[in-house]
A and B are shown apart, each in its own frame.
Chain A
Amino acid sequence: MQIPTLKKSYLLIATVLIGLNAQANEWQPVEVEQLIELPVNLIEKRIQQDFNLSPMASKLSHIESALVSQGEKIKALQAIVQEAKDNEMIDEKVNLVKVKSDFLDNMQEGQLLRQKSLSQKIDLYQAVLEKLYQQQNRQQSSALYQVKQQQEAARERMEKVMAKVDAAMSEQGLTQTTPYADEFTKNLAKINKLKEAIQSHKANMSPMVNGIEVSTEEYVRQLLMQVASEQSLLDQEALMLSYMSRLVALDAQALEYAINIEDEDASGSKIESTTTPATSVSLFL
């Protein structure tokens, strides 16, 4: 079947628009490979920065400003209808329920976006942790790592007896140190100073959790726990939201009831049951 050119163009535009709409509230997190290249302290900041630049974050920001203005509107309407009786200021009361409902709709949308962003963060942290474990396992199982471990063990063992060896040499009359030993000792002091400077450099700081230095894996695990706890609190907020929705529904129900009563009073449609057999007896006598 031949589709006319104009129709094809419309179809293309429609497809692009649908695609844009679908992406409008999305967040495409940064690649895991890029994250694990960063100093661990910066992982969280990089993710947050990436999120802040996403359409999802700007949508959340719009929702937040809408919630603020709707909240103020609700307060103003509440102040107006506060003193009104059940059958008074019905329009204002209807308006209040409507604004409350819109407020809750926005809040629910924000809630869903936050839930989505948190589950994306959880996936991201889990992927980072997985990569870190893989890297560590690969490193630890390598032959070179084994040799390095053996050298470190040997170095520790040797360092314990170095003073004893030097003392033994002195006893044999060799008090003069070798050029290598002299230079090494001089350089060692300088190296230690450089090491201290590197260790205290802010760009090389180990990750800290509650003031305690932790490993990279531990830090990412803590971040994961933090996001999981945020998610748990968000679930609790969702429950609050559902109760708030229930209250608005009850308000609307009560209002509907009040409006119906008023209508009935105004139209006088209420059937007065004054004509009873007892009152009608005289008609038959």
Chain B
Amino acid sequence: MKFFNTFALIAVVSVFSTSAQADNNLLSLKNLERERAKFLHTMLSDADSPDQKRQQILMSQRHLIDMERMVIRDDRLTKSQSDLVKSAFLQFDLTFLMHSSAEQSAQPLAHWMKQVGMDTQSVINAKPGFRK
């Protein structure tokens, strides 16, 4: 009985370690996703002063550039079959926002909005309220 308990414990530990390893494979991509979310939030937010906002955006851009390069060079990602990885490479323009916007000679925010299907007119026409 004790033997079976030990065996079950080893099995559980190995399942967790495999899952933790799979999670670690996606670390660079997840960091990039978080940093991009923060960047977009800063861009769209008006909570900070213009100077503070500018400083934060510059710092975030610098981080994003590094992180995008880390992701593109990260061979651990190609060992994962996660949908996150598949869609990250399929949607190059969204995932690698800094580089794709420079490629299109566009501002990062404008490029992101274009990619998600928003333009100035649609923003102006937007009304606050519940989604119908």
On chain A, the residues within 8 Å of B81 by CB distance are 143-144, 147
Interface residues of B (CB under 8 A from A): 58, 61-62, 65-66, 68-70, 72-73, 77-81, 85-86, 89-90, 92, 96, 98-100, 102-103
Cα A150 to Cα B96 with chains together (Å): 13
Distance between Cα atoms of A87 and B92 in the complex (Å): 96
- Decide: B58 and A158 in contact? CB cutoff 8 A: no
B66, B90, B96: which contacts A178 (Cβ < 8 A)? B66
Residues of chain B lying within 8 A (CB to CB) of residue A201: none
- The segment out of A105-113, A165-173, A277-285 that lies at the interface is A165-173
Whether a CB of chain B sits under 8 angstroms from the CB of A38 is: no
Assembled-state Cα–Cα distance A208/B131 (Å): 65
Q: How far is the CA of A145 from the CA of B87 in the complex (A)?
A: 15
Residue pair A180, B66 in contact (C-beta under 8 Å): yes
CA of A168 to CA of B100, assembled, Å? 13
Query: How far, in angstroms, from A174 to B70 measured CA to CA in the complex?
Result: 19
Within the assembled complex, what's the spacing in Å between the Cα atoms of A150 and B98?
Answer: 19
Give the residue name and chain of the B residue nearest to A159 (CB): B72
Q: Which 7 pairs show the lowest CB-CB distances between chains A and B?
A: A150-B89, A148-B78, A161-B103, A165-B102, A180-B66, A155-B72, A164-B102
Knowing A144-B78, A154-B96, A174-B58 are in contact, say whether A180-B103 is a contact too (CB < 8 A): no
Residues of A within 8 A of B78 (CB): 144, 147-148, 151
Contact between A158 and B62, CB atoms less than 8 A apart = no
Interface membership of A160, Cβ < 8 A: yes
Is A6 close to B, CB under 8 A?
no
Q: Is A157 an interface residue (CB 8 A)?
A: yes
Whether B85 pairs with A147 at a CB distance below 8 angstroms is yes
**Taking CB as reference atom, which chain B residue is nearest A164?**
B102
Q: A147-B78, A157-B103 are in contact. List 15 more A-B contacts (CB 8 A).
A: A143-B81, A144-B81, A147-B77, A147-B80, A150-B90, A151-B72, A151-B77, A151-B89, A155-B73, A158-B68, A166-B65, A169-B61, A173-B58, A174-B58, A184-B69
What's the minimum C-beta distance from A139 to chain B, rounded to whole angstroms? 12
* 27 A-B pairs with C-beta separation under 8 A: A143-B81, A147-B77, A147-B78, A147-B85, A147-B86, A147-B89, A150-B89, A150-B90, A151-B78, A151-B89, A154-B72, A154-B92, A155-B72, A155-B73, A158-B69, A161-B100, A161-B102, A164-B103, A166-B65, A169-B61, A172-B58, A172-B61, A174-B58, A180-B70, A181-B66, A181-B69, A184-B69
Q: Check: A162 CB closer than 8 A to any chain B CB.
A: yes
Q: In angstroms, how far is the closest chain A Cβ from the Cβ of B47?
A: 22
A105 to chain B, nearest CB (A): 63
Given the complex of chains A and B, what is the CA–CA distance between A165 and B99 in angstroms? Answer: 6
Closest to A157 in B: B92
Q: How far is the CB of A224 from chain B (nearest CB, A)?
A: 33
Task: Give CA–CA (A143, B77) in the complex, Å.
Answer: 12
Least distance between A172 CB and chain B CB atoms (Å)? 6
Hey, which chain B residues are within 8 Å of A168, CB to CB?
102
Smallest distance from the beta carbon of B13 to chain A beta carbons, Å?
25
Q: Give the residue among B66, B86, B99 with the most A Cβ atoms within 10 A.
A: B99
Instruction: Write out the residue numbers on chain A whose beta carbons fall within 8 Å of the beta carbon of B98.
Output: 165
Min Cβ gap A79→B in Å is 75
Query: Using Cβ atoms and an 8 Å threshold, which residues of chain B touch A154?
Result: 72, 89, 92, 96
Counting chain A CB atoms within 10 Å of each CB, the highest count among B69, B70, B90 belongs to B69
